[in-house]
A = this chain, B = another copy of it.
Amino acid sequence: MRGGRPGRERTSRACDDARVRIVALAGGIGAARFLRGLLAHVADADVAAQVTVIGNTADDITLNGLHVSPDLDTVMYTLGGGIHPLQGWGRADDTRNVQDELTAYGAGTEWFALGDRDIATHLVRTELMAAGATLSEATAVLCARWQPRVRLLPMSDDPVTTMVTIADPTAPGGSRTLHFQEYWVRLGAPAALTVTVAGADKACPAPGVLEAIADAELILLPPSNPVVSIGTILAVPGIREAVLDNRRAPVVGLSPIVGGAPVRGMADRMLAAIGVPTTAAAVAQHYGARAVGGLLDAWLVDTVDAAAVPALTLSGIRTRAVPLLMRDTAHSAAMAAAALSLAAEITAQ
């Protein structure tokens, strides 16, 4: 990562740590699986890396008085070895007794599954925050147990919430605005009219976020939702600017769109709501080329989207086609290796 490109010399204050400083902006499952591959790759390749993950909190929701942070937990559980291996969220070997009882009281949120072990995480977080801790501080306490081998920072300690507006002929005005979780988990992501990030304009980046970006030698955009994961992180004032201001660190993204469809989730609905086609190329153009004020130095598309490589490269985004389906950790490690390889090419220029 350390090369001769002007402005990419390391800052003096981080010189006591010889590890390569990598920052990733992360949503949930896609990011978590990619990051697991990244950690596997740097371990295999004997690269000393310090990874800071800036996690999306705009999906956070309060259920039965519990502060639930789905994306932070998915990253923490995945990297800490506690994730449910098949569903990709929630805890392995979990039970559903608390929620069954909440339902018996008529107090459950049936459409949002809370496992018993998972609830313990939310209880600890909620108790800490009720006692005055920030979400960052609560996250650090939870990570002290899980040891995810990354520094996991929420994007903000302030409440930020993705809201989705859908058509509803029965509602006044013909539309209805919902919490993202209700839109996605309860309704299964119908066509969306607009997506807004409530509270983003008044939110501050969490402590350490801007510093980590400023100090980074590589910034990764994992294959997360460009609108409601990466997009919400970038909507916190100061974060996008910090990425743009760090001219030393290449920004390498991985397409969450493969063959014209999201690998998982509802990115197609969200992209449509902001007028972006559901293609790997369109998402890259949405992020934009660094040379013309956008975010991306480089972009990885799946091999099925290889046809997009020349045009994107021409537009100033160094693009490569590699397999992007994360069937196991070996696959995601190979994706991480490809991302680091692209970054090294840029740094060596």
Contact of A98 among B65, B102, B117 (CB under 8 A): B117
Q: Which of A29-37, A47-55, A124-132, A156-164 lies at the interface with chain B?
A: A124-132
Write the nearest CB–CB distance from A112 to chain B, whole angstroms: 14
CA gap between A156 and B102 in the complex, in Å: 25
Is A330 in contact with chain B by the CB < 8 A criterion? Answer: no
Let me know if A178 is at the binding interface, CB within 8 A. Answer: no
Q: Which of B94, B95, B102, B142 contacts A120 (CB 8 A)?
A: B102
Query: A64 an interface residue at 8 Å Cβ cutoff?
Result: yes
Q: Does A202 interact with chain B (Cβ within 8 Å)?
A: no
**Interface segment out of the listed A1-9, A103-111, A221-229, A335-343:** A103-111
Contacts of A346 in B (CB 8 A): none
In the assembled complex, which residues on chain B have CB atoms less than 8 Å from the CB atom of A196? none
Interfacial residues of chain A within 250-307, with CB under 8 A of chain B in the complex: none
Q: Which residue of B lies closest to A91 (CB)?
A: B101
A119 contacts B by Cβ under 8 Å: yes
The residue from B65, B116, B145 contacting A105, defined by CB atoms under 8 A apart: B145
A319 CB, min distance to chain B CBs, angstroms: 43
**Is B127 within 8 A of A107, CB to CB?**
yes
Residue numbers in B under 8 Å from A117 (CB-CB):
97-98, 100-101
> Closest CB of chain B to A310's CB: distance in Å?
51
Closest Cβ of chain B: how far from A125's Cβ, in Å? 10
Output the nearest chain B residue to A65 by Cβ-Cβ distance.
B127
If over half of A's interface residues share one DSSP class (helix, strand or loop), that class is named, otherwise mixed; here it is: helix
Which of A66, A94, A97 has most chain B Cβ within 10 Å? A97
A39 CA to B95 CA in the complex, in Å? 35
Q: What residues on B are CB-neighbors of A194 within 8 Å?
A: none
Chain B proximity of A109: nearest CB distance (Å) = 11
Name the CB-closest residue of B to A107: B124
Contact A98 B120 (CB under 8 A): yes
Closest B residue to A120 using CB positions: B101
Q: Check if A141 is an interface residue, CB within 8 A of chain B.
A: yes
Per the bound structure, the CA–CA distance linking A97 and B145 in Å amounts to 16
Q: A100 to B145: give the CA distance in the assembly, Å.
A: 13
* Distance between A131 CB and nearest chain B CB, rounded to angstroms: 8
Closest B residue to A99 by CB, please name it: B120
Query: Which of A94, A99, A119, A123 is packed against the most chain B CB atoms within 10 Å?
Result: A123
Contacts of A119 in B (CB 8 A): 98, 119
Does A121 lie at the interface of the complex (its beta carbon under 8 Å from any beta carbon of B)? yes
Asked if B142 and A116 sit within 8 Å, CB to CB, the answer is: no
- Which has the most chain B C-beta neighbours within 10 Å: A116, A124, A126? A116
With A and B bound together, what is the CA distance between A116 and B94 in angstroms? 12
Assess the A120–B105 pair: CB atoms within 8 A. yes
Which residue on B lies nearest to A104, using beta carbons? B145
> CA–CA, A106 to B117, complex, Å?
14
Which residues of the other chain, B, contact A105 by a CB distance below 8 angstroms? 120-121, 124, 141-142, 145
8 closest Cβ pairs, A-B complex: A101-B120, A65-B127, A97-B116, A98-B120, A107-B124, A116-B116, A101-B117, A64-B123
A-B contact pairs, 22 of them (CB 8 A): A64-B123, A64-B124, A66-B123, A94-B97, A95-B95, A95-B97, A97-B116, A97-B117, A97-B120, A98-B98, A98-B119, A100-B117, A100-B120, A101-B116, A101-B120, A105-B120, A105-B121, A105-B124, A105-B142, A106-B145, A107-B120, A107-B127
